[in-house]
Structure 1
Amino acid sequence: MEIILLERIAKLGQMGDVVRVRNGFARNFLLPAGKALRASKANKARFETEKVHLEARNLEARAEAEGVAEKLAGQTFVIIRSAGETGQLYGSAAARDIVEVAEAGGFSVARRQVRLDRPIKTIGLHDVQIDLHPEVSVSVTLNVARSEDEAKRQARGEDLTRRDFYDEPEVEEAAEEAPDLAEVFENPEDAEHAGETAEASEDGAQEDGTSDAGSGEDGASEGGTEDKTTA
């Protein structure tokens, strides 16, 4: 179907352009929304008559949209949703949700003005474009989180979608090092004597262990001999 555009339409053309579009797109959207007219002779003549008025109305609407864009640009809106440990939402955040939080923040946004290719299905910070006017667009940030606290942490730059976020932190216990004897004793001779005493104690402990082991073996041998003699 051939139509006359009454305003700028992205990827179609500017006001006054005659373009061909699919019948369904024209009948279901462009014509009912007042964005276009059928390209008949009567409508072409009508457009030329109303062109000045349409251009003035467009300039007024654009100026109003630019005023809203100055206040809306850079805004962040928080949406609280239930999600798993990896950040996957139990559901999604769609255009209607963005409209609701924007209105709660004092901005009037129509659902058709929200440009969202697909619903948001993970927590995090998401950039969303809002077309306030065919010639005026603005970008806002959608902070999707499981709680207000997590929303604040995400705003500070934390990534809460990592799998290891919920892992228990590893605690490394520092090994206790034996003190330096030279630092314990003021007199070097005392430190040397303490070191010799410690070494002697270790040697004695080793000898005692060897002696005990030998005694055990001798006892076992003698016991075995006596048993054989008795038998």
Structure 2
Amino acid sequence: MKIILKETIESLGIIGSEAEVKKGYARNYLLPQGKAVLATPQNRKLMEKERTKFELQIAKETAHAEEMAKRIEGVTCTLKGKVSDENRLYGSITVRDIMTALAAQGIEVEKNMILLNDPIKTLGTYTIPIRVYKGVKPQITVEITAE
């Protein structure tokens, strides 16, 4: 099913672009949430009229993302945890812990922006990318130390 995006969706594209999605995804999520419209000739004409508005919004989002990336790039977070004799953490450091540490430094990020594959379970220094916007991924350094 062809749709036209009314907002940027990471996996599909930017505002105003056409995408091919499964019928269920369109009918059950994108259309009811107002994130997309069907790609009919009438909707294409409407979107073409609003293209300048979309381009302005994309430019604004990109500028905001780059400004946020400059603030995030190179930030170091130090987290402490209880460790065993083999320098393994008793718990683990998760996305939520990193999000809290960043918030303490005045950097607000959403949970899904932190690209941590698996929870951290050992001491050390880790480089973790933060997805701010499509193609904009600054990296932070997370140091895990013993309490």
TM-score normalised by the chain length of structure 2: 0.78
Whose relative contact order is higher, 1 or 2, with alpha carbons under 8 Å and at least 6 apart?
Answer: 2
Letter in 1 for 2:141: T
Q: Quote the residue 1:114 is aligned against.
A: 114
User: Residue 46 of structure 1: CA displacement?
Assistant: 3.5
- Distance change >3 Å, CA 121–CA 2, structure 1 → 2: farther
User: Residue 21 of structure 1: CA displacement?
Assistant: 3.5
Residue correspondence of structure 1 range 54-69 to structure 2 within 5 A: 54-69=54-69
Secondary structure (helix, strand or coil) at the match of 2:97 reads helix
4+ runs deviating over 6 angstroms:
none
Q: Quote the residue 1:226 is aligned against.
A: none
Q: Which of 1 and 2 has greater Rg? A: 1
Secondary structure (helix, strand or coil) at the match of 1:107 reads coil
- 8 Å contact kept, 1:62–1:135: no
Q: Quote the residue 1:105 is aligned against.
A: 105
User: Residue 27 of structure 1: CA displacement?
Assistant: 4.8
1:39 aligns with 2:32: no
- 8 Å contact kept, 1:123–1:144: yes
Q: Quote the residue 1:9 is aligned against.
A: 10
Letter in 1 for 2:144: V
TM-score normalised by the chain length of structure 1: 0.53
- Unmatched segments (≥5 aa) in structure 1: 148-231
In structure 1, distance between residues paired with 2:139 and 2:97: 16
Secondary structure (helix, strand or coil) at the match of 1:86 reads coil
CA-atom RMSD in angstroms = 2.8
User: Residue 83 of structure 1: CA displacement?
Assistant: 2.2
Q: Quote the residue 1:159 is aligned against.
A: none
- 8 Å contact kept, 2:3–2:37: yes
In structure 2, distance between residues paired with 1:26 and 1:62: 29
In structure 2, distance between residues paired with 1:97 and 1:26: 36
Q: Quote the residue 2:127 is aligned against.
A: 127
Q: Quote the residue 1:162 is aligned against.
A: none
- Unmatched segments (≥5 aa) in structure 2: none
Secondary structure (helix, strand or coil) at the match of 2:89 reads strand
